[in-house]
């Protein structure tokens, strides 16, 4: 094939600062008569007070479903339906999102709905009661699925007592009242914490004016503080959570990783692709699934954290009796990539793939606008995308070995297994050489009991 020629869009060509200081990215696309307005709110659940965990998610959900000063919740839904406008909200740990998708001809009315919802939410009591009822029902099922248990306990082991690992409880949800939501909205839900990503069939100059008019006179409060990095150091070892009613176990192993901007970020990314991040071309998948038939999927990830270190993590799901064997295979593959050069062909495969799928980061006007808005949020340099492919191409097999040795430390591994502990410890009678006891240097298995799902109190 001829070399792929592609020049990525540049953030500076689409970045505009509105009169009130709000940054927006505007990417025009006139192929279809649709406009998408995405608002990134620099407000996440990390802001929740300890006794009101779940507050931010409640505010963000009730922005859309709780009515406004002008319309009741039912009337607001009818107005949106009449326009065939899609208005949605979602909240995360570090930020939240509000999105409007509307026909070009109805853009003005759609923006009226969006900003009425943002500026004047009513947080209707009946809708808050319904929201709380649904959350409380979900809390009761927190110990039902091994994937949610694994995710929760992994966060606790890696992050300790931190905003990224704390859990809402029945008490914190029940405590939420309309005045709490009103106060939280007044505190941080204002233009000082806005980043817009607008794409579709519009003219940039006109869209800027539309947004500025609707934010006119909006009192600007404080900028929301960024998340505080965790100060927890994970304790290496093997941890097991017993869920005897399942026939498959889930295993994760890893440790703290790197922060965004690390000079070895691209070499680490390609190293991880070879190890376990590239699906069927990865070593872990080939060994655990294709060669041994021990798991449907297995792999690894090594993302760079935006605000603090991310994690290196490898894992799989397998039948209880073969979990120890699959874990040992992953450890073997980690040792292999740390001790020997990968082949030039392996590196070429993952590198070529990463380079050739690069245009997907800018596959549509909406993706372009939202990518740049995310970069603005996390403080990523505009030069990141301009040098992306060159930095990938510069990675050598020597770099892969170097970063594997420098950034993967088996002696620091936290190994977490969730499932039928008795069966996992018993192992496969046909392969008695594999056992979790042999994986632990001190032969010690640390048990983690299941907490009460509503209170998150762990039995002693």
**pLDDT at 1 > cutoff 70:** no
The structure tokens listed for 422 are 């008795």
**Residues 263-292 pLDDT 10s:** 999 999 999 999 999 999 999 999 999 999
* Predicted TM-score of the model (pTM): 0.94
Residue tagged 């071309």 (tokens): 281
Residue 118 CA to chain centroid, in angstroms? 24
**pLDDT at 338 > cutoff 80:** yes
**Residues 407-454 pLDDT 10s:** 999 999 999 999 999 999 999 999 999 999 999 877 789 999 999 999
Strand order in the sheet with 194-200: 15-17, 23-28, 194-200, 34-41, 96-103, 86-91
The structure tokens listed for 145 are 């699925």
Q: Which residues, other chains included, contact 428 with Cβ-Cβ below 8 Å and sequence gap of 6+?
A: 321, 322, 324, 325, 434
Eight-class DSSP state of 289: I
Percent of the chain whose predicted confidence (pLDDT) is above 90:
96
**Residues 198-240 pLDDT 10s:** 999 999 999 999 999 999 999 888 999 999 999 999 999 999 9
Contact at 8 Å (CB) between 258 and 404?
no
């Amino acid at each position: 094939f001829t070399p792929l020629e592609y020049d990525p869009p540049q953030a500076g060509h689409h970045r505009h600062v509105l009169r009130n200081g709000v940054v927006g990215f505007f990417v025009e696309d006139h192929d279809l008569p649709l406009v998408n307005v995405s608002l990134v709110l620099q407000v996440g659940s990390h802001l929740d007070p300890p006794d009101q965990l779940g507050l931010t998610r409640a505010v963000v959900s009730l922005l859309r479903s709780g009515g406004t000063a002008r319309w009741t919740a039912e009337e607001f839904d009818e107005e949106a339906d009449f326009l065939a406008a899609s208005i949605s909200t979602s909240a995360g740990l570090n930020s939240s999102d509000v999105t409007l998708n509307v026909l070009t001809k109805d853009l003005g009315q759609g923006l009226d709905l969006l900003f009425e919802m943002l500026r004047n939410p009513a947080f209707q009591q009946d809708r808050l009661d319904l929201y709380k009822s649904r959350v409380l029902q979900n809390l009761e099922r927190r110990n039902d699925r091994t994937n949610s248990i694994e995710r929760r306990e992994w966060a606790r082991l890696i992050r300790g007592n931190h905003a990224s690992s704390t859990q809402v409880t029945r008490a914190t949800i029940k405590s939420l009242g309309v005045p709490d939501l009103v106060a939280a909205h007044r505190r941080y839900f204002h233009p000082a914490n806005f980043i817009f990503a607008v794409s579709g069939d519009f003219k940039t100059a006109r869209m800027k004016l539309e947004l500025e008019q609707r934010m006119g006179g909006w009192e600007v409060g404080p900028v929301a503080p960024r998340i505080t990095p965790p100060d927890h150091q994970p304790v290496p070892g093997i941890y097991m959570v017993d869920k005897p009613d399942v026939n498959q176990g889930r295993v994760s192993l890893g440790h703290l990783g790197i922060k965004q901007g690390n000079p070895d970020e691209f070499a680490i990314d390609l190293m991880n692709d070879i190890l376990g991040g590239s699906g069927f071309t990865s070593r872990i998948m080939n060994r655990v699934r294709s060669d041994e038939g021990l798991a449907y999927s297995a792999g690894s990830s090594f993302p760079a954290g935006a605000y603090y270190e991310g994690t290196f993590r490898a894992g799989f799901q397998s039948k209880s009796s073969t979990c120890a064997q699959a874990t040992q295979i992953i450890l073997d593959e980690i040792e292999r990539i740390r001790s020997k050069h990968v082949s030039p062909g392996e590196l070429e495969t993952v590198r070529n793939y990463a380079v050739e799928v690069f245009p997907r980061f800018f596959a549509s006007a909406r993706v372009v606008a939202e990518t740049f808005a995310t970069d603005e949020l996390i403080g990523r340099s505009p030069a990141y995308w301009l040098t992306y492919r060159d930095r990938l191409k510069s990675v050598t097999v020597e770099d892969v070995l170097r970063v594997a040795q420098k950034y993967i430390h088996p002696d620091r591994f936290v190994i977490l297994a969730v499932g039928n502990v008795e069966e996992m410890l018993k192992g496969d009678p046909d392969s008695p050489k594999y056992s979790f006891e042999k994986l632990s240097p001190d032969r010690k298995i640390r048990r983690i009991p299941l907490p009460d799902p509503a209170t998150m109190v762990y039995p002693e």
